[in-house]
Structure 1
Amino acid sequence: MVMLPPEGAQDHGFAISDAIDIPVLLRSGPARRPRRKHWEGARTPWATTTSVPPNGWYLATTSWRQILKAATEVGRDLDPWLALTPHLAISELVARISPLHAYLCLKDVKTPTAGAAGRRLFVNAIYRHGTERSAQSAFGYHLGMTMAQWICAGMMGVGPTQHIEAGGPNGDPGFLQSSNPLPDLWGTHPVGPLHWLIEAKARRLIGVGDLNEGMKQLHGGSDLMNGHPHLQVLCGTSLPAPWEWEKDHLFMTVDTMHVPGTPIQANGPAALPTDPSGDPEAHLADDDDALLLTTQSQMLAYRALACGTVEDLRIVPLSSARAERPRSRTGSLTSLEDDEDTQAARRRLADDPPATEQQLRGRPGVADFIAGRIPGTGTHVGMSRRLFSACRRLDALKIEAAREEEARRGPQAVRSDAFWDEEMLEAASRAERISYRQYERRTGDRRATVRAGFAQGEDLSWMALLGNRVPPVGWRRAGLLEGATAETYIAVEASDPVLRGRQG
């Protein structure tokens, strides 16, 4: 009996992969809906992660981790009340992730070009047959915001976005007070144009009519820019027609329009340092505005970790070579299985495994992040020690502002639902947000506070930062796909509904 394998035989193992291809059309303004042959035939790899690529069709290969990271970082701003009810941060994270799990799936498709994943996102049978129209519309909102964040922040290098309800660029109060249609988000790019106004749309068979509605919202935001140059970005995510749901996969159109204007005045916002990586996190050590925006973007994850509502809270060792986790063609997130520095650091730790923070501190080449699982989602979020400390200091300011707003309003009379119609509720909510934001901006120097927390973080223990909780050190989790930026962490379990069954 011959015990050696025959010549040419291959050993097929099984591995978890979350690589995804998403067709994206870059244009200079809304136009008619593309034909199937265009988005099915997209084959040019994503060209850059530092700015807006030239117009044309691209096949952007990314990861499910990158998309879930976008979902956790985009949405309506929930201050001031979330500052006083931090345990509900976990509920908001579940609300942002769960719709993607409920209605999306991965399917294999013919790979049009080398290097592509050969898998694309489709809606599943629950979306098509088990979901009412109103729920499909709500899903369109979540998906549209997630995909806009993914393409802008994950793939084109814009910094952390903010919901327009929290105020717009340049501190213009009109963004808080306007009752006119406005875009969903705004962000700052480290290369330029400095400010981006972003509108997200997701519809079945999205067409030029839907996109023209988004243009009106972008124009409403541009009217408040006081003549400063900026970029309008209209992100359209197309869901399939009901009769084509088995065949049509998701694709995106991104319409970008540069709005010229007068140069920004000396007392206006300064441009971030130009960096060839186009990564806003590269400037956190020396740019207070970039640090503040990054800190604000992680407040939901911070509150979930700080308030004890996550599962499997633990210290995760990563490489301390943060600059070695640069942006790549697949996005801003570095897959840790491809991070040689982190893998080498963990191999060294395996020779003498640390069980506690004290045993881990001081090990060469290691940075310790905190991480935990969002219940019911199979998604883990985390961040570095110094970013956690910055979030902790910012949260103290937000709590102070929320309590002041609560005291200013005084006891609220209980009214029946019949008395409050939707427009009245929205007007009352907008008035409260305006009052809170105005007070928040007067409460201490947020930039200086966040900078102090960021600088102090490396000197504080996790026990001190977490209110005397003592998390264990742990990184060996079977079937866990991990990713990190310089200061943030995310991981996805193999049981993720979108990934389940796609192992091979």
Structure 2
Amino acid sequence: MDKQPPEGAQDHAFQISDRLDIPVLVRDGPQRRPSKRPWERVEHAWPGVTGIPANGWYLATTTWRQILKAATEVGRDIGPWLALTPNLAISELVSRISPLHAYLCLKKVETAVSGSAGRCLFVNAIHRHGTERSARSAFGYHLGMTMAQWACAGMMGLGPTQHIEAGGPNGHPGFLDVSLPLPDLWGSHPAGPLPWLIEAKAHRCIGLPALREGMEQLRGGSALMHGQPHMQVLCGTSLPALQSWEDDRLFMTVDAMHVPGGPTRPDRTAPVPLDPANSGSEAHIAEDDDALLLTAQSQMLVYRALARGVVEDLRIVPLSSSRGTHQRSDTGSLFCIEEDERTQFIRQRLGEDPPATEQQLRSRRGVADFIAGRIPGSGTHVGMSRRLFSACRWLDELQVEVAREEESRRDPQPDRPDLSWEDEAMEAETRAVRMSYHEQLRHRNLSGTVREGFKQAQSLSWRELLGDREPAVNWRRVRLLEGATPETYIAVEASDPVLLSVSD
């Protein structure tokens, strides 16, 4: 294969790096906080994206792209409101990414693991000296959720996760009642049908008190499984002590516990797993309706940002159509575009004979056309494949319909300036709306809807899919680090504040 770039091409991606290391302790249950700083002396590399490793300390070498992708995909479900105000998807994405930019930095460290990046995440001076307690607490929530998603979906190969407020495994209505102690997320691994219940915690010097609280939430979820075997996964992210904020790097604990099946109650039969074997993965969406639905649901925020939000630099990005067979790398579920020979070969050929239109691009052999756009103010670009975008479009129409029906059923709030809504009252109202919305969605043909959108993808142009907007065919970007999964895309600019915090 000729790997020489076309004449005059500029590619600075290989001169910058977003690789970093995160120490991770895997255990089979919560324990006291490790002493004597073992996270600084880790000797074993993360074994790859194959599932939950054996107990012990690992140094997980990953990319900043992988962490930012996790941030865009995890958070509280705001489906009924976002369906009616899709332009706010941009704001939600910014709210998930910006805390990471605001409070984290990279520092060089010594490691004993061959092939490691030699750089770890630390909190910066803004977090330590310029942030109030309430802001640090909010950051802990965002960071905890992001790192749980990174560990489970990014590094252990879990399929798309769902926030528990959108419903848990098998559609049990009890998972919609967030007044109960419940975990944050759930998902299934492509290697088998076993559901994972996931709780995320992030605290300064995280220890048993916070982890015990997380276990209570996991047990609350397990109580709704009614005899079905599943995994409890408690992800703890440790922030540094105040007095050692310059010296203590971020590290994680992953407590993974198998809950065996048990006898069901006489009046209840054991539920059938929602996600069958070999599902839950983007690689299976062509033949598996459950995998397609879960993937589309996990990408609705990005879809709405691209379809309805004010993204910058909206464009068509060519990737290799063989991406679905690409083996996951040791750095996570993303494969880095600069390391993907097939995509580089395709782009070289396109550079020699540039396509002027979308149709010309689509006629080229081996090319998959993704849509991508820049989240304003973030330096992060997000995107997805044509067929996933089309599936999300059909799902969006159904969700908007249900949200409007739900809105029409609600009693109008009294227009009284003297009426004060306390946080708890507002939360109760929000909870009721969310529960009703998702209960109505359960009775719709979600799988059939996304499958129909998936099938329609090739018959529609991007202009039709995007509501008469005409994206340019343009993939040439200087100092842009790109990553992709079989159906999704993310890129990070070299001006990212975290990447600029360390000089190589």
CA change 1:224–1:137 in 2 (3 A) is same
**Residue number in structure 1 paired with 2:381:** 380
Alignment match, 2:5: none
| Residue aligned with 1:403, SS | helix
- Is contact 2:46-2:61 (8 Å) kept? yes
Report the counterpart of residue 292 of structure 1 in structure 2.
Answer: 293
Q: Which residue of 2 aligns with 1:269?
A: 273
Query: Residues 215 and 308 from structure 1, CA distance in 2 versus in 1: closer, same or farther, beyond 3 angstroms?
Result: closer
- 1:260 maps to what in 2? 260
Match of 2:337 in 1: 336
Partner residue of 1:153? 153
* Residue type of the alignment partner of 1:314: R
- Structure-2 separation of matches of 1:269 and 1:180: 22
Aligned to 2:369: 368
1:440 corresponding residue in structure 2: 441
Q: 1:238, 1:252 within 8 Å by CA — same for their partners in 2?
A: yes
1:412 corresponding residue in structure 2? 413
- Which whole-Å CA distance do the structure 2 matches of 1:301 and 1:202 have between them? 25
Deviations 1:178-217 (A, max 9, x none): 5221111111112236100000000111111110010001
| Residue equivalent to 1:7 | none
Q: Give the counterpart letter for 2:273 in structure 1.
A: P
Q: How far apart are 1:415 and its partner, in Å?
A: 4.6
Give the equivalent residue in structure 1 for 2:8.
Answer: none
Over the aligned positions, Cα root-mean-square deviation in angstroms equals 1.8
CA distance in 1, matches of 2:213, 2:221: 13
Instruction: Specify the alignment match of 1:4 in structure 2.
Output: none
Structure 1 position 342, deviation (Å): 0.2
Question: Aligned in 2, Cα 1:263/1:62: closer, same or farther, shift over 3 Å?
Answer: farther
- Judging changes above 3 Å, is the alpha-carbon distance between structure 1 residues 267 and 133 closer, same or farther for their aligned structure 2 residues? closer
Using the TM superposition, give the Cα deviation of residue 263 of structure 1 relative to its aligned residue in structure 2, in angstroms.
8.9
Asked if 2 retains the 8 angstrom alpha-carbon contact of 1:337 and 1:343, the reply is: yes
Contiguous gaps of at least 5 residues in structure 1:
1-12
| Letter of the structure 2 residue corresponding to residue 343 of structure 1 | Q
CA drift at 1:111: 2.8
Sequence identity (%): 69
Q: 2 CA distance for matches of 1:51 and 1:240?
A: 28
1:129-208 correspondence runs (5 A): 129-177=129-177, 179-192=179-192, 194-208=194-208
Q: Aligned in 2, Cα 1:180/1:461: closer, same or farther, shift over 3 Å?
A: same
Tell me the SS of whatever aligns to 2:96: helix
Aligned 8 A contact 1:182 1:217 in 2: yes
Find the residue that maps to 1:60 and give its secondary structure. strand
C-alpha contact 2:103 2:124 (8 A) present in aligned 1: yes
CA contact (8 A) 1:273 1:283 kept: no
What code does the residue aligned with 1:438 have?
Answer: E
CA contact (8 A) 2:48 2:331 kept: no
Query: Residue 19 of structure 1 corresponds to which residue in structure 2?
Result: 19
1:131 Cα deviation from its structure 2 partner: 0.4
Q: Shift of the alpha carbon at 1:60?
A: 0.3
Question: TM-score normalised to the size of structure 1?
Answer: 0.94
Matches within 5 A, 1:173-252: 173-177=173-177, 179-192=179-192, 194-252=194-252
User: Aligned pairs, how many?
Assistant: 488
- Structure 1 residue 314: Cα displacement: 0.2
1:269 deviation in Å?
Answer: 2.8
Contact 2:193 2:273 in 1 (8 A): no
Residue 349 in structure 1 maps to residue 353 in structure 2: no
Asked whether the equivalents of residues 16 and 502 of structure 1 are also in contact (C-alpha less than 8 Å), the reply is: no
| CA contact 2:226–2:270 (8 Å) conserved in 1 | no
- Structure 2 gaps of 5+ residues are 1-12
Distance 1:103 1:266 in 2: 45
Distance 1:417 1:315 in 2: 51
State the match for 1:91 in structure 2. 91
CA change 1:374–1:188 in 2 (3 A) is: same
Q: CA deviation at 1:271?
A: 4.8
How does the TM-score come out when normalised to structure 2? 0.94
295-304 vs 31-40, which moves further: 31-40
CA contact (8 A) 1:191 1:272 kept: no
CA gap 1:87/1:32 in 2 versus in 1, 3 angstroms: same
Partner amino acid for 1:345?
Answer: I
Take 1:122 and 1:410, find their aligned partners in 2: how far apart are those partners? 48
Q: By how many angstroms is 1:417 displaced?
A: 7.7
Output one character per residue of 1:386-434: Cα deviation in whole Å (capped at 9) or x when no partner. Answer: 0000000000000000000011114322355863222211111111111
